[in-house]
Amino acid sequence: MIRGLLRWLRESFSSLSLAFFLSLIVWVSAVLSSDPTVTRPLPQPVTLELEGLSSEVTFLEPLPSSVNVTLRAPQSVWERILIQPNLVHAWLDLTNLSEGEHELEVKVRVGVTPYHVVKVIPEEVSVRLERVETKWFPVSISILGEPALGYQKGQLSISPGLVQVSGARSIVERVKSVQGELDINGAAETQRRPVRVRALDQNGAVVDGVRLVPDTVSVNQVITLLGGYRNVVIKVVTIGEPAEGYWLTNISVSPPNVVVFSADPQIVDALPGYVETEAVDLTGLSDDVDLRVPLNLPSGVELAGEESVLVRLNIAALEGSLPMTLPLDIVGLSPGLGATLSPDQVDVLLSGPIPVLKNLKASNLRVIVDLSGLGAGEYQISPRVDLVPESVKVASILPENVSVVLAPVPSGTATPSPTPGLPPTLTPGPTPTRAIFPVATPTP
């Protein structure tokens, strides 16, 4: 029986092999039709990583930061890569490389299989390596400008005084100094600030490609007054009062302090720390004003610089309130309707500058009840005060709402309609209240 089975296998081997091969082709075709292989470039460049670089060498020239990669992979693999671009890595192997020039192949790996790298641009990268060198340089600071008038430069201190410069040997050898700059132009006090330093060559040009540790130092430049000079503040002296209904809200002076000088240092040392201006007259002022005012200096004392200061006076009107009783003016009443208001006048409280309120008349104001688009019925309407000066505010209207009854007018009866643009007619009776109450009386 076994002999017969073996004989049958020998006689049927070619047929069995053909059947297996055909079934394999059918299976591969089915797989490819459901998950086809696609060849295309990655949509974004791949960052070029560096591996194995010794700390004793560094690059003389910059390397490309990324490469372009073309892959051939099944569609399912592409879907993973497009969702997770970090699955693709490109790198240069710098392990055990010494000084000199090297041509290195760009290697690529993908964190999902299967795949085939079709193309990498560039395929190779030229690398120039040089030994790392480190040197220490003293820091020097260039002082720009001069202190304010009456001041002088004193001692300059730098911390730390030494900076470490490291990089490729040939580049570090070009460095001749490490310097920074401090601008003290117009300074009237000691300058303490951080200053960034740079590596310079013998011609004073900046040397790129080196690392400075630290790259910022702390600089302290002492600035002091010269003998016979003193920095004092300005005190503004005023006389008189602003116009009626106005008050002085603020005084500012520029500059707020000045430097004075005397040939006798004891005179300036005896000053109380301030000098007064000549008297500034406020009489009749009703608006802000800028004035050039001389200083009232003691005998033997001079102003180092300009002979006057700029004084700014801020003048504002006193605020008050004005109650008034005003009639209501109807606008927007539909034809064929009559309106009954209850009440037909309101109490209005206005607030604003007292000089403006004093000149405000009832005939200049208008209290409107807008009935636009309303049909017959009873309504609660909020009146609105019109023609109010810009500087005046309506503090309150009492009552806040008025009752309005709209009803059809019988045929043949004239419908009263207000004439737009005319001032309201005051209701006969008591004259509107004209008492103005100050809100506050500030003390300058």
Tokens for 64, please give them. 């490309």
Burial class for 45, CB neighbours closer than 10 Å (0-12, 13-18, 19+):
middle
The structure tokens listed for 306 are 């300009």
343 and 295 co-located in one domain: no
In this structure, are 306 and 263 located in the same domain?
yes
pLDDT in tens, 123-180: 999 998 989 999 999 999 999 999 988 888 999 999 999 999 999 999 999 999 999 9
* 327 and 389 inside one domain: yes
**CA torsion sign, 351 to 353 to 354 to 357?**
negative
pLDDT of residue 249: 86
Q: Give residue 295's domain range.
A: 229-317
Query: Long-range contacts for 268-273 (Cβ within 8 Å, ≥24 apart)?
Result: 268/228, 268/229, 268/230, 268/301, 269/230, 271/230, 271/232, 271/298, 271/301, 273/232, 273/233
H-assigned helices in 281-388: 354-358
Which parts of the chain register pLDDT below 50? 26-28, 30-32, 415, 417-434, 440-444
Residue 176 lies in a domain: yes
Q: Say if 128 falls within a structural domain.
A: no
291, 317, 343 — which closes off a domain?
Answer: 317
Task: Assess if residue 151 is contained within a domain.
Answer: yes
Same domain, 351 and 301: no
Residue 103 lies in a domain: yes
In angstroms, how far is CA 251 from the centroid of its own chain? 31
Asked if the peptide bond before residue 214 counts as cis, ω within 30 degrees of 0, the response is: yes
Q: How far is CA 59 from CA 132, 173, 175, 313, in A?
A: 9, 15, 17, 66
- 5 is a domain residue: no
Provide the 3-class DSSP secondary structure of residue 275. strand
pLDDT one-digit tens code per residue, 178-201: 999 999 998 888 999 999 999 999
Q: Answer yes or no: do 116 and 186 share one domain.
A: no
Last residue of a domain, one of 68, 100, 122: 122
Kindly state whether residues 220 and 269 are assigned to the same domain: no
DSSP state of 364: G
Predicted confidence at residue 41, as pLDDT, reads 92
96: in domain = yes
7: in domain: no
Is 139 in contact with 180 (CB distance < 8 Å)?
yes
Are residues 161 and 261 both part of a single domain? no
Asked if residue 328 belongs to a domain, the reply is yes
Assigned token pair, 334: 């539909």
Claim to verify: residue 330 and residue 434 sit in the same structural domain: yes
User: Looking at residue 261, what is its pLDDT?
Assistant: 87
Cβ burial of 156 (10 Å; 0-12, 13-18, 19+) is: middle
For residues 433 and 325, state if they share a domain.
Answer: yes
What is residue 13's predicted lDDT score, i.e. its pLDDT? 59
Q: Across the chain, what does the average pLDDT equal?
A: 84
CATH number at residue 200: 2.170.120.40
Q: How many domains does the chain have?
A: 4
Query: Final residue of a domain: which of 225, 257, 283?
Result: 225
Nearest alpha-carbon partner for 258 in 272, 275, 237: 275
Q: For residue 113, what is the domain's CATH number?
A: 2.170.120.30
Q: Please list, residue by residue across 308-344, b when 16 or more beta carbons sit within 10 angstroms of its beta carbon and e when fewer do.
A: ebebebebbbbbbbbbbbbbbbbeebbeebbbebeee
Clarify whether residues 334 and 422 are in a common domain: yes
pLDDT of res. 4: 62
Residues 431 and 342 in one domain: yes
Instruction: State whether 347 and 272 are in the same domain.
Output: no
Q: Which pLDDT value is given to residue 418?
A: 46
